[in-house]
Amino acid sequence: MKRIGLIGGTGPEATLDYYAGITSGARNRLGHLQYPEIIVYSVNIGQLVELFEAADTDGVANLLLEKLEALHGAGADFAAIAAVTPHMVFGELAARSPLPMLSIVEATCERAKGVRLERIGLMGTGFTMASDFSQEPFLREGMTVVLPRQDERELIHAKIVGELESRIIREETRQAFLGIASRMMREDGIDSLVLGCTEIPIILDRDYLEIPFLNAAAIHVEAILDHCLAK
């Protein structure tokens, strides 16, 4: 098995879910007591958020590259980031990283392509929904990406930062998210919903509506395991 390097802390709750998903997935594939080695570098999410808010993509890239170099020095064979928003600088990181990297956006796009989705709704942080990086792979494959309205994006971002990053689960928040998804189905004709933030599955933990919910974090975990176990 290849040794996994994971940049976590972006946020901490999703990092816990990644660790649990990787270990349980390995056990299901390999049997009892068979687990990969995982090196986790948990970054300070507050520092990253400040850089995102300042639109300092160079600062984001340099900070994450420092963590990738530390993971490489600790013996990791490849790396993944347990969050979507930092993937705004994934191209630069992949070019400069001492480790091969697995993209959550590319993995999710491959899943959507595999099940022949065409018109995808996207929820994520405000940074993710405002950036092209989260849409480009889908557009390249001929899919359409539909975003929530601006007021809906603001609500989603506020709930992610104010509640889900701390694993605060409120039924009113779940219903608000589902209301947005229902409106997008009705008015925008989406045939699926990408949960494009690794904290959203904390509250949308299954397919609640008549369309598939693509859990980007779970898809990423599967891709990490596939790479870890590949010979």
> pLDDT-derived band of residue 231, with 50, 70 and 90 as boundaries?
confident
* Token digits of residue 140: 């390249």
- In CATH, what class is 4-103+219-229? alpha beta
Query: CA geometry: angle at 126 spanning 86 and 191, to 5°?
Result: 95
**Positions of CATH 3.40.50.1860 in the chain:** 4-103+219-229, 105-216
For 105, the enclosing helix (H) or strand (E) is helix 104-114
Q: pLDDT grade, residue 144 (50/70/90)?
A: very high
The pTM is what? 0.94
Query: Which CATH fold would you assign to the domain 105-216?
Result: Rossmann fold (3.40.50)
Contacts of 213 (CB under 8 A, 6+ apart): 192, 193, 195, 204, 206, 207
pLDDT tens per residue, range 71-88: 999 999 999 999 999 999
Say if residue 10's pLDDT is above 90.
no
Residue 226's identity, in one-letter code, is D
